[in-house]
């Protein structure tokens, strides 16, 4: 697991907390901020997943040589 994957998943979790808290207290701005954080987190963790996948594929290709 690389830092992008970890940071992305942390941002997703923080975003979910903000979204729920905003919904509970009726703060649409906080709720929207939470949704934005979740999208940002998913993008970052997706980048990390792709990076990790590329690294694994390269390692497998090198191992076959």
Query: Domain locations in the chain?
Result: 3-64
State how far Cα 33 lies from the chain centre: 15
Q: The pTM is what?
A: 0.84
10 Å Cβ neighbour count for 56?
Answer: 10
* Residues in Cβ contact with 16 at an 8 Å cutoff, skipping those fewer than 6 apart: 34, 38
What is d(CA 29, CA 54) in angstroms, rounded to the nearest whole number?
A: 37
Asked if 44 contacts 29 with a C-beta cutoff of 8 angstroms, the reply is: no
**pLDDT tens digits for the chain (65 residues)?**
899 999 999 999 999 999 999 999 999 999 999 999 999 999 999 999 999 999 999 999 999 88
């Amino acid at each position: 697991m690389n830092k992008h994957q970890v940071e992305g998943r942390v941002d997703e979790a923080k975003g979910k907390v903000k979204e729920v808290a905003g919904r509970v207290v009726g703060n649409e701005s906080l709720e929207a901020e939470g949704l934005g954080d979740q999208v940002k987190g998913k993008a970052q963790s997706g980048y990390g997943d792709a990076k990790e996948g590329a690294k694994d594929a390269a390692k497998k290709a090198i191992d076959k040589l």
